[in-house]
Structure 1
Amino acid sequence: MTQISDSEFDQLLTDFEHSAIHVETRDAYGTATELPHMAQWAAGEPDDLAWLQGWCATLRAHVAAGRSVRRARIVSEPLSDYQRWSYSIAGQMVGAGEDIRWIPRRRVSSIALPGNDFYLFDDRLVVFLHYAGDGLGTGKTASTNPDDIQLCRNAFEALWALAIPHSEYQPV
C-alpha cells in the first residue's frame, strides 16, 4: 500500500471511468469542511449548503457521463449527532445522483469488513481512509492488491444487499 495525498485523492474522485463505491463505518467524523456547518445545524441556524455544491456538481457530471457513485453508511442507532446532521444534508447529494444507503450496525454483525472506511474505484484501486479517534482524517493509503480489492468489493455488495435507500431510511 502507498500513501496518497489529498490532492491525489481529489483527482480520483473526479477521474474514475465507471464506478466509485464508498463504505463509511464510523458514527462521527471531523472534517475541517464539515464541522462548522454541523455546528450551525446543532445551533439551529440555517445553512444554504453552498459549501456542498462543488461535490453536487461533480456528482451531476458523473451521472451525465454514465458513471455511478454509491455510498453505504453503517450507523449505530440511535444516530449520533454527526449522523443525524449527515442525514439532514444527504438529500442534496442524492438529488445530484449519489446513491446513499443506510445500514443499521446491528445488521452487519456477520459481514467481513475491512478495518477502515474505503473507496473502490472501477474495481481497480481501493483507497483506505484513516482517522484519529476524534474523527479527524489522518491519511489515505491506496492499493491495487487483488485481495484488497476483492475484500472491499465483497464487503460492499454484502452491505448493499442489506442497505436502506436514503428516501426510505427513517432515522432512529
Structure 2
Amino acid sequence: MSSIPEFGELLAAAEKSAVHLEMRDTYYSNARFEAWQRGQRVDWNDRDSWWRPFHQDIADAVARGVQVRRARVVSEPVTDYIRWEHYQTRANTEAGEQVRWLPRRRAWDLLLPGSDLWVFDGKLMRIHHFSGDGLWVDKELCDEPTTVEAHAAAFEKVWERAVPHDAYEIM
C-alpha cells in the first residue's frame, strides 16, 4: 500500500475531473460519527472546527478548475452511518464538491463496481477495499484504459439518476 500515492497527491495531479463512487451503507466508526450519535452537532459557523485537510484539497482542486463529484448508492431506509454522512456532507459541498445520492432500489439495473473508487481525469482509478464491517482493508490503483473507462461510465450512469444532495431526503 505504501507505494500508492495518497489521495491528496492524486487529486493535486488531476487536471479536469475527480469522481468518487461510494457503494457501502456502513463504514468504519470514527470519533466524529460517534460524537454525532451522542447528539453532538457541527457548529457550521466555526469553520476551523470542521474544515480538514481533505476539504482544503478539494477546494484547491476546484479552484484550479477540477470538477469534483461524489455519488453515493444507498439502501433505504438508510443506516445511521449514511444519516450521519448526509448531515456532514455540507462540509464537502462547502469545499466545492458536488454530491448526489442514488437509492439502491433505483440502481438495480445498473452494472456497478463491487468496490468504492475514485477516477481521476478518466485515466486513473483508485480502488478502496473494505471488510464486511466497514473497516479499511486496502487500496490499489488501476490505469488499464478499458477498465477505467468502464468504471467511469458506471459512475456517470449513477450520476444521471442520482438526486442532488440538497434535494435528497433521508428515509
Settle same-fold status: TM greater than 0.5: yes
Matched-pair contact (CA < 8 Å) for 1:27–1:76: yes
User: Where does structure 2 lack aligned partners over 5 or more consecutive residues?
Assistant: none
Shift in alpha-carbon separation, 1:4–1:164, aligned structure 2, 3 A: farther
**Percent identical across equivalent pairs?**
38
User: Where does structure 1 lack aligned partners over 5 or more consecutive residues?
Assistant: none
Q: Does 1:39 align with 2:38?
A: no
Q: TM-score, normalised by structure 1?
A: 0.90
Alignment of 1:81-160 (within 5 A): 81-160=80-159
- Give the CA deviation at 1:157: 0.9
Take 1:78 and 1:142, find their aligned partners in 2: how far apart are those partners?
33
Match of 2:25 in 1: 27
Matched-pair contact (CA < 8 Å) for 2:21–2:117: yes
Take 2:82 and 2:16, find their aligned partners in 1: how far apart are those partners?
28
Match of 2:8 in 1: 10
Matched residue SS, 1:84:
helix
Take 1:54 and 1:164, find their aligned partners in 2: how far apart are those partners?
27
Matched residue SS, 1:167:
helix
Matched residue SS, 2:166:
coil
Structure 1 segments (4+ residues) deviating >3 Å: 3-10, 46-49
Match of 2:78 in 1: 79
Q: TM-score, normalised by structure 2?
A: 0.90
Partner AA of 1:145 in structure 2 = E
Shift in alpha-carbon separation, 1:6–1:81, aligned structure 2, 3 A: farther
Shift in alpha-carbon separation, 1:83–1:5, aligned structure 2, 3 A: farther
RMSD of the alignment, in Å?
Answer: 1.7
Task: Name the count of aligned residue pairs.
Answer: 167
Matched-pair contact (CA < 8 Å) for 1:4–1:142: no
- Give the CA deviation at 1:59: 1.8
1:112-160 superposed Cα distances (whole Å, 9 cap, x missing partner): 1122111100111111110011111111111111121121111011101
